[in-house]
């Protein structure tokens, strides 16, 4: 029961967070001529832009966010501890404690990304 409730809560949070992200314009998509890094399909009509400036289909990103609240490409946090989408707050002043936390999170993201790369490239030296 708790697993189901947790899953529903994660999906609701994903929908809420995806709606906070800006939509890419058709001109942006045409200029990029890119594919969604989640489904590898072309993005011609609809895409969302993350605070770290990565583009994904909204439906793909919604599914991803229901599992993890980080960017699928760079692992940047897409939701801060207050539940806001990073980069959207009006006041950018951070307390020293919050700044330290963000720095620590950035270090952990970098380490996770390196670990993930090792998993993907079995021939790399470890």
Residue 11 lies in a domain: yes
In the block, residue with structure tokens 């009006």: 90
Rounded-to-integer distance, Cα 54 and Cα 56, Å: 7
Which structural domain, as residue segments, surrounds residue 21?
2-92
Residue 73 lies in a domain: yes
Q: Contact, 24 vs 43, CB < 8 A?
A: yes
Is 36 labeled as catalytic in the residue annotation?
yes
- How many domains does the chain fold into? 1
Residue 60 lies in a domain: yes
Residue 120 lies in a domain: no
Q: C-alpha distances in angstroms, 29 versus 11, 55, 62, 99?
A: 26, 9, 19, 34
Residue 46 lies in a domain: yes
For helices 58-65 and 2-20, give the axis angle rounded to 10 degrees.
140
Active-site choice (36, 39, 60, 71):
36
Q: What is the CATH number of the domain that holds 58?
A: 3.30.40.10
pLDDT (tens digit, 0 to 9) for every residue of the chain, 126 residues total? 666 556 667 667 777 778 889 999 999 999 988 999 999 999 988 999 999 999 999 999 988 988 888 899 999 988 654 555 454 443 344 456 666 666 676 666 666 655 554 444 444 454
């Amino acid at each position: 029961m708790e697993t189901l409730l947790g899953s529903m809560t994660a999906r609701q949070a994903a929908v809420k967070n995806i709606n906070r992200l800006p939509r890419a314009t058709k001109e942006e998509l045409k200029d990029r001529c890119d594919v969604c890094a989640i489904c590898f399909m072309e993005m011609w009509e609809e895409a969302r832009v993350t605070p770290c400036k990565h583009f994904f289909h909204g439906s793909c990103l919604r599914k991803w966010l229901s599992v993890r609240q980080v960017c699928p490409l760079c692992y940047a946090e897409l939701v801060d501890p207050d539940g806001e989408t990073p980069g959207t707050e009006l006041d950018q002043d951070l307390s020293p404690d919050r700044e330290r936390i963000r720095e620590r999170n950035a270090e952990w993201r970098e380490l996770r990304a390196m670990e993930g790369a090792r998993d993907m490239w079995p021939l790399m030296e470890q």
